[in-house]
């Protein structure tokens, strides 16, 4: 198992550009989510999904779009990058139920560091 894979690890954008951060998991997890972490702050939820075809907004969704066409993939799209979106982005996934020996723990990717100039 590769776990949760995020690409790219680093990206520099100019204001107004668009891009997609990729997230893939191979654990057949129902739940996937995107967080951003700014210096000295905790993780803030951007968007999340409880299954293919289902997405919902977190606490800081503005400026971001997501889709969940498959169980494995949950890309995060920046529509028109702004300097305020400079951050480290983490994708996470988990099972939805604590049954059958599952712990319900969130598995995180290694992060994608985005700089918007």
Partner 1 sequence: DAKTTQPPSMDCAEGRAANLPCNHSTISGNEYVYWYRQIHSQGPQYIIHGLKNNETNEMASLIITEDRKSSTLILPHATLRDTAVYYCIVRVPPFGNEKLTFGTGTRLTIIP
Residues within the interface to partner 1 (CB under 8 A): 4, 30-31, 33, 35, 37, 40-45, 48-51, 56, 58-59, 88, 90, 92, 94-98, 103-111, 113
Query: What is the DSSP code string of the chain?
Result: ---EEEE-SEEEE-TT--EEEEEEESS--SEEEEEEE-TT--EEEEEEEEETTEEEE-S--TTEEE--SSSSB--EEESS--GGG-EEEEEEEE-S---TT---PPEE---EEEEE-
In this complex, which beta carbon is closest to partner 1, that of residue 16 or of residue 104? Answer: 104
- Taking the complex as a whole, how short is the minimal distance between the CB of residue 79 and partner 1, in angstroms? 21
Q: Considering beta carbons, is residue 35 or 81 the nearer one to partner 1?
A: 35
Q: Which is nearer to partner 1, 15 or 62 (CB)?
A: 62
């Amino acid at each position: 198992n590769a776990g949760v894979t995020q690409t790219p690890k680093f990206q520099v954008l100019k204001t107004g550009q668009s891009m997609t951060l990729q997230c893939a998991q191979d654990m057949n997890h129902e739940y996937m989510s995107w967080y951003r972490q700014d210096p000295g702050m905790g993780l803030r939820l951007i968007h999340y999904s409880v299954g293919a075809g289902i997405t919902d907004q977190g606490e800081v969704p503005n400026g971001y779009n997501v889709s969940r066409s498959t169980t494995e993939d949950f890309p995060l799209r920046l529509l028109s990058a702004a300097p305020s979106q400079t951050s480290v982005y983490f994708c996470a996934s988990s099972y939805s139920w604590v049954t059958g020996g599952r712990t319900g723990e969130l598995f995180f990717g290694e992060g994608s560091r985005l700089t918007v100039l």
